[in-house]
Chain A
Amino acid sequence: MSCDKFEEYISLHVDGKLDPAGERSLREHLAGCPRCRETLAALESVEKTVRSAEAKEPRAGYWDTFSGRVMQRIESEEERRAESGWVKWLPVVRPSAGRRLRFAAGVASIAVAVVVGVLFVARQGERAIPTALQPLERETPVEKGKDVLAEGEKPSDKEKAVAVEKKEVPPPAVKTEAPPAAAKTENAPPPAQTQAVPAPKEATPPSAKNEVLDVAAKTEPAREDKASAPAAEKMAQPRTTSFTTADRLTSVTASDRTQAAGGVARQEVSDRDTMLTVEELRAFIAGWKTQIAASPADSLTNEGYREVATAYCVLAKQTGDGADIEEGARVIRTYLESSRDPATREFLAVRLQELQELRKK
């Protein structure tokens, strides 16, 4: 057995997690391997030092004011939410009074339903009216159309005619998936820095996409990138815009997914995506990353991997920036490592290849 394997044993041994058989073979190996003995000694010494090092206490009086400042932040956040538009109709910001919560949940579900409905209608219109932002599809339009149809959508004859005429893929309608929170792991914590309104368990939460984008838009630039704060504010305002943004990408991903499953080796990200600005794409990516980081075991994670990968491809094409290509490739590679879903892995591989080809160019 190589030293590499024993280094892993050493790590387990230090934590007291090596089984008896492993301990025995490690002991035997150590007897004849000075290098591994040295590694073990170094590790033990380092961890002993680390454990004994005392962290620096904050300034005097820090702990006396800590919780007060937290409560202040909570209050001002509640006020901010109460003042910002329709959110004021949602008393859920104050997790009080079960009845009000349920009422708020009802209002929220209706609001989501209305937004989805409006978007659906808007999209129907969008399909019928070709614009400069929706150039012709370049590859295998007929097959794409078929794949999308296979996903269960049944466009009207008129739509079919338009699609053929434009040689454009009709994107699937607004996804009617189960509310994502229902699919979430129990007690998955909120996405980092999320400002999500706490919903009672019986509530129908707003679309996760919506939420994710909201998180991205509101929080991404907030901490460090103060310069782009106005842009973020602009994005944070209309929730419906966020939804549309997410939905556009989702539609592309959905059709791509069917294609990947259908064995089409490679396809370009649809030019429909160029409707998104670079900024929106970055916010979209950041939002999904936050979501993935917040609940990696979530059933939405694989979808997140695909969304992020697609968005990186679109982004890299838009900016043509080597850094974006590299970052995208790096991220996709880590997703490839993490994902256990064969369809997702296949999808990611296609995206990675796409980025690699971009890099060659």
Chain B
Amino acid sequence: MVPFMERAEERKSYTEKSDDELIVLVQRGDRGSFDVLVKRYQRRIYFLALRMARDPDASDDLAQETFVNAYFAIGSFTVGRRFYTWLYRICMNLSINYLNKRKRAVPASQFDDEEDVLEREAGGPDAVDVLISKEKTAKIEAAIESLSPKYKSVLVLRVYEDMSYEEIAGTLGISVGTVMSRLFRARNKMLEALGELEEQDK
């Protein structure tokens, strides 16, 4: 029987443990260690899901499910590999499935509402610039939204997550060559869609 204080001490140092150390503990049945891992990666996973789904509720669900799936599959994780890449991959798969199933785009914006910005920036010298940039961001966002999940996923990982080609390949389970060609096509399609949106406004 481990004394209570000793256990508390142990728990306190959990946040200092590496991913691998925590994973080994989870694999041995220590659920508390998984909680530490969740806290460590919750933001990254939530925002990744948000970039893909563009819907806060769906992103919450996708992020939660990513961790639940990871927990039940952690027995198959080989210590030494990068945990977050593995998590990203689960999250991307869930997101792509979700997007494939979702019939039409959700209009909700992942970015700050225009009203918030106006409120914050009202009267400020940069108010007009902010509005222009806001409008541009919304259009870009719509252009990215119009991409198929296949292209959207590489673009999100490259542009928002700043992943290298190799990391993207690892996360999506495709070759680096495929990453290159998909990125090229995704960018082309995005610029085309953007052009069309700007054309509509004229």
Binding site for B on A (CB under 8 A): 7-8, 11-12, 14-15, 17, 39, 42-43, 46-47, 49-51, 53-56, 58, 63, 66-67, 69-71, 73-74, 77, 92-98, 101, 181, 186-201, 223-225, 290, 293-297
A-B CB proximity, top 9 nearest? A96-B29, A198-B75, A190-B73, A296-B173, A192-B93, A67-B38, A11-B184, A189-B90, A70-B67
Chain B residues within 8 Å of A66, by CB: 38-39, 42, 46, 63-64
Chain B residues within 8 Å of A188, by CB: 76, 173
Tell me if B29 and A94 are in contact (CB < 8 A).
yes
Chain A residues within 8 Å of B22, by CB: none
Alpha-carbon gap, A296 to B153, bound state (A): 15
* Distance in Å: Cβ of B50 to nearest Cβ of chain A: 6
* Beta-carbon contacts under 8 Å, B118-168 to A: 133, 136-137, 140-141, 144, 158-160, 162, 165
- Total of A-B residue pairs, C-beta within 8 Å: 177
Alpha-carbon gap, A357 to B137, bound state (A): 46
Q: Contacts A15-B158, A15-B183, A97-B29; is A74 near B68 (CB within 8 Å)?
A: yes
* Beta-carbon contacts under 8 Å, B49-77 to A: 50-51, 56, 60-61, 63-65, 67-77
Alpha-carbon gap, A234 to B202, bound state (A): 54
Alpha-carbon gap, A358 to B169, bound state (A): 37
Alpha-carbon gap, A198 to B74, bound state (A): 7
Chain A residues within 8 Å of B133, by CB: 49
A39: nearest chain-B partner, CB-CB: B191
B50: nearest chain-A partner, CB-CB: A55
Chain A residues within 8 Å of B180, by CB: 8, 11-12, 17
* Beta-carbon contacts under 8 Å, B168-196 to A: 172-174, 180-181, 183-184, 187-188, 190-191, 194
Q: Contacts A71-B35, A74-B31, A197-B72; is A54 near B111 (CB within 8 Å)?
A: yes
Tell me if A43 and B187 are in contact (CB < 8 A).
yes
A55-B110, A198-B72 known, 16 other contacts, Cβ within 8 Å: A42-B191, A43-B191, A53-B137, A54-B112, A56-B56, A66-B64, A70-B35, A71-B35, A73-B65, A95-B26, A95-B74, A186-B78, A188-B173, A189-B86, A192-B90, A296-B174
Tell me if B90 and A190 are in contact (CB < 8 A).
yes
Residue B14 CB within 8 A of the other chain: no
Chain B residues within 8 Å of A295, by CB: 173
Tell me if A56 and B101 are in contact (CB < 8 A).
no
Contact of B98 among A92, A94, A197, A223 (CB under 8 A): A223
Chain B residues within 8 Å of A63, by CB: 42-43
Chain B residues within 8 Å of A199, by CB: 75-76
Contact of B86 among A54, A187, A192 (CB under 8 A): A187
Chain A residues within 8 Å of B60, by CB: 58
Alpha-carbon gap, A42 to B136, bound state (A): 12
Binding site for A on B (CB under 8 A): 26-31, 34-35, 38-39, 42-43, 46-47, 50-51, 56, 60-61, 63-65, 67-78, 81, 86, 89-90, 93-94, 96-98, 101-102, 109-113, 133, 136-137, 140-141, 144, 158-160, 162, 165, 172-174, 180-181, 183-184, 187-188, 190-191, 194
Chain B residues within 8 Å of A297, by CB: 173
Contact of B47 among A55, A92, A198, A294 (CB under 8 A): A55
Contact of B97 among A95, A192, A195 (CB under 8 A): A192
Chain B residues within 8 Å of A71, by CB: 31, 34-35, 38
Tell me if A293 and B68 are in contact (CB < 8 A).
no
Tell me if B28 and A293 are in contact (CB < 8 A).
no
* Distance in Å: Cβ of A178 to nearest Cβ of chain B: 16
Tell me if B160 and A50 are in contact (CB < 8 A).
yes
Q: Contacts A7-B184, A193-B94, A224-B101; is A95 near B75 (CB within 8 Å)?
A: yes
Q: Contacts A56-B109, A77-B72, A192-B94; is A69 near B64 (CB within 8 Å)?
A: yes
Alpha-carbon gap, A181 to B77, bound state (A): 12
B162: nearest chain-A partner, CB-CB: A51
Contact of A187 among B28, B61, B76 (CB under 8 A): B76
Tell me if A198 and B112 are in contact (CB < 8 A).
no
* Distance in Å: Cβ of B96 to nearest Cβ of chain A: 6
